[in-house]
Structure 1
Amino acid sequence: MNRAEFKRQVLSLFSESVDGLSLEEKVNYIENLLIEYQKMNEDERDTSNKGESWTDEELKIVLSSAPTKYNCMKYARIFKRGYGSIEQIYRWAATTDKMIQEKRPNDVFVKRIKKVAKELGLRV
């Protein structure tokens, strides 16, 4: 199938009604499906930095945006990482210091995330 035919079919499908969803609800649903599709096919995109150390600058960029599915996917693609690693950064940034002391008191990466979050003025 060529691009023009693919586009025509996708747009035609988007035009179908879905269980009484409003246009806005349908667009949100489509956006979530696109993220889900990208997560399902993560092994087909470049994740060459997966497992590599994060720089403070990269952490600042991630933590400067809201922890949405869209942003998780955006930064996973930009930094060539896995979707889950971005989710994890947001999760650790939002975890209380008490919980970190209980679960990961000596984790250098978690400490760096918390340090960067504090520098950005984020609070738990």
Structure 2
Amino acid sequence: MTNLKALVLQNFKKIHRTRLRVFDGDEKALLAARLKINDEFRKNQNVRDEEAIKAMLKFGDDVERELRTQVIQAREVKPGVFEAKISQETLKMENTPYNDSAIPEGGIKRKGKGCCQNQKPNDTKTT
């Protein structure tokens, strides 16, 4: 159990260090993240089941990775122009430009619309 306590403390510090990097310069976000992190750890401080603690440590690692790789801070530098802080660790994916006139390959499917909208259920012709 002593080793788990050390791992929990490591996890706690790691998440806070990531919070400081990700939200650097944004006092409101820094405070909100600090309060949330502290609250979550405090809420679970009496958990004694080793498997539950290990699962929470895994969750903490996942949260830290999400913060580090998925969260981007942006600020408006002039009206309509934003500056984003993107680090080497930020997950970057292929960016496909938005096309207003694009139509999906299968066409547009709308619930309750289309060729069968006036048809009654089991509306079949019998001979």
Task: Please indicate the TM-score interval, normalised by the length of the shorter structure.
Answer: under 0.3
Could you say which structure has the larger radius of gyration?
A: 2
**TM-score normalised per structure 2:** 0.24
TM-score by length of 1: 0.25
Structure with greater strand share of residues: 2
**Structure with the largest fraction of helix:** 1
